[in-house]
Amino acid sequence: MPELPSETLQAFGKAVKAARVLKGMTLDQAAFVALKRDSAKGYFSQIENGRRKITPRTAGRIITALEMDKALLQPFLGDDEIAEDEVTKADTDAEKLIEKAQADDAGIVTGERLLIDLAYDFAEGQHNDLFTAYKGLRAALQAAKELKEQGNLPQNTSSQLDAVLRRVSEMNDKGDRDGAAEFLAAEGKRLDAEAEALFNAQLKQDRVRNRPDLAAKRLGKHTARKAHEAGEKRIVAIGKLIHQYLEDGDKKGDTFTLQVALEMAKINTDAASGNYRAHALVLLGWCYFRLAERSSEKGLLKSAQNALQACLQTTDKAIQPHTWTAAQSGIASVLLEIGERNRDEAILVEAVSAARASLDTADRHNNLGIGKLWSLLGVGLQRLGQCTSDPVQLEEAKICLTKSISLTYKTTDSHIRKGMYTNLGVALRWLGTLTENEEMLHQAREAFRECESFDFREDAPMLWARNQWNIADLALAHFALDPDPALWFEARDYVTRARDFFAEGSEYQTQRCDELIARIDAIEAAA
């Protein structure tokens, strides 16, 4: 295809949009008539915006379908025409996101243009899987919906300052000085509420625009002002807010919230000095790590490791044991992620050592979060034992994970306990397989069943789907010791649920599901 300048593509797109509007066609209708494809309105919108190269054949179809001037085809003709339209992965992912949003029964209503633009924003993002991208899209659409609803409210929280002062003057003239003071106090409260509502609306708009950096700056200034009024140190107040956003984003799997936490942590770290810098570096490292768990962006794990190592280098374990423990457990978590991804035994051994060190320090200083550290050590031992096929490591993992559950509150930390039960089930699965102990596999199923008892598909969907896969994998491991057809029936049931979830964009998880399904098919064929 000739290298058309962007101005030419944009001019063609404007002509297409004008012709479509004149014919009274929606994007869906135009895409179907011109491209002969269902679910292509997002791609057709990209053509209208001049963002896609298309073949002369496709340009001709659009011109014919919309009865446009045939001269518009001329720029697309040449000796080096492309054979196929430019259709990217972002196009296919965006269409899936659009379809999913339109099929959602949550009642979110927004403009078609905004939906398409947001779908492409998240399809082109750094998400590991399409479900995470969809959660971001849904949150942005929800923010847009709330802004629309807020704009439709009666404007009873705005009045002109001169009207207020006029009323005060009238009350004073009548001698009602106390009444005037009360009126001014009420107006002050109303204006404070109005300012807070405006601030929250700006945060929602930052989400609609997918600008976590702006949200972070806005939150930082707002928190600093509140801290000054309360006589609290700015860096401490912002640190608390970062921790809140980090915990909330991790629990809900909301990458936008995690990105806001990271941007705030960057600003806070740059401003921190003395003892406060170590704590700021810990938060920065954990923000990088939580995003690394969910993102395809390279370098996040290394950035997390660098921040946490910098903290350890500036922290005296005897003076700041809690900060040192948080950094050391962060290092262990990062190394576990790297070791598992690369199947590197040496890194997994290093991770387990770091986890032991953090647990030992926490134990000696009565750290309230010690249950999480027992879980971290258990996960490290489980992954190392699985990598090395060592039942001794897996046996210790079982002990650690069982202890972590006993030290974790059932109510306030219920989402954490879900993960602990899942991790215990995985450890028991591999221990039972390596020792050919069927009772151990039964115990693994009970651990997964404990996790199933929590209603967390909406709150922690990725954890829910992984648990479905784990149950299917366990059923096949059990089948190897006890060839009961009911086991591979159960495996197919659970892996199908997991695949239905992961099929929307998570290629790695979908591949794991397909591998299990292939094993089930082979068992069924041999039966």
Tokens of 220: 């930082």
Token pair listed for 262: 């990271």
Identify how many contiguous H helices and E strands the chain contains and give both numbers.
Answer: 23, 0
pLDDT per residue of the chain (527 residues) written in tens, 0 to 9: 456 778 888 899 899 999 999 988 888 888 888 888 777 888 888 888 888 888 888 888 899 889 999 888 888 887 555 666 667 778 888 888 888 887 775 445 567 777 888 888 888 776 767 777 888 888 888 887 776 675 555 544 445 677 787 787 777 767 677 888 898 899 888 888 888 888 999 999 999 999 999 999 999 999 999 999 899 999 999 999 999 999 888 877 788 999 999 999 999 999 998 889 999 999 999 999 999 887 767 799 999 999 999 999 989 888 889 999 999 999 999 999 999 888 899 999 999 999 999 999 988 887 778 999 999 999 999 999 999 999 999 999 999 999 999 988 765 567 788 889 999 999 999 999 999 999 999 999 999 988 776 556 666 677 788 889 999 999 999 999 999 999 989 999 999 988 887 765 556 677 888 999 999 999 988 87
Alpha helices in 6-111 (DSSP H): 6-22, 27-35, 41-48, 56-65, 89-103
- Position 157 scores a pLDDT of 44
Residues 327, 64: Cα–Cα separation, whole Å = 64
Q: Residue 314: helix, strand or coil by DSSP?
A: coil
Buried-exposed string 241-250: b where 16+ CB fall within 10 A, e elsewhere: bbbebbeebb
φ/ψ of 295, rounded to 5, equals -115, 150
- Which helix H or strand E contains 77, and what residues bound it? none
Q: How far apart are the C-alpha atoms of 465 and 255, rounded to whole Å?
A: 18
pLDDT of residue 425: 96
What pLDDT is stored for residue 164 in this prediction? 80
Reference 59, options 36, 84, 71, 76; nearest CA is 76
Residue pair 405/421 in contact (Cβ under 8 Å)? The answer is yes
Nearest to 351 by CA among 326, 367, 334, 363: 334
Task: State the DSSP H helix or E strand holding residue 368, giving kind and residue range, or none if neither.
Answer: none
Cα–Cα distance, 54 to 285 (Å, whole number): 44
- In which element (H, E) is residue 123 found? helix 112-123
**Contact yes or no for 70/101 (Cβ under 8 A):** no
Distance between CA atoms of 182 and 164, rounded to whole angstroms? 12
What does R_g of the chain's alpha carbons equal in angstroms? 29
Each domain of the chain, given as residue ranges in start order, spans 1-87, 211-297
Exposed/middle/buried for residue 356 (C-beta within 10 Å: 0-12, 13-18, 19+) = middle
Q: Domain 1-87 belongs to what architecture?
A: Orthogonal Bundle (1.10)
Cα distance between residue 485 and residue 521, in whole Å: 12
Let me know: does 239 contact 269? Beta carbons within 8 Å. Answer: no
First to last CA, the chain: 55
Q: How far apart are CA 36 and CA 20, in angstroms?
A: 16
pTM of the predicted model as reported, rounded to 2 decimal places: 0.76
CA–CA distance, 491 with 496 (Å, rounded to integer): 8
CB 263 within 8 A of CB 212: yes
DSSP 8-state assignment for residue 74: G
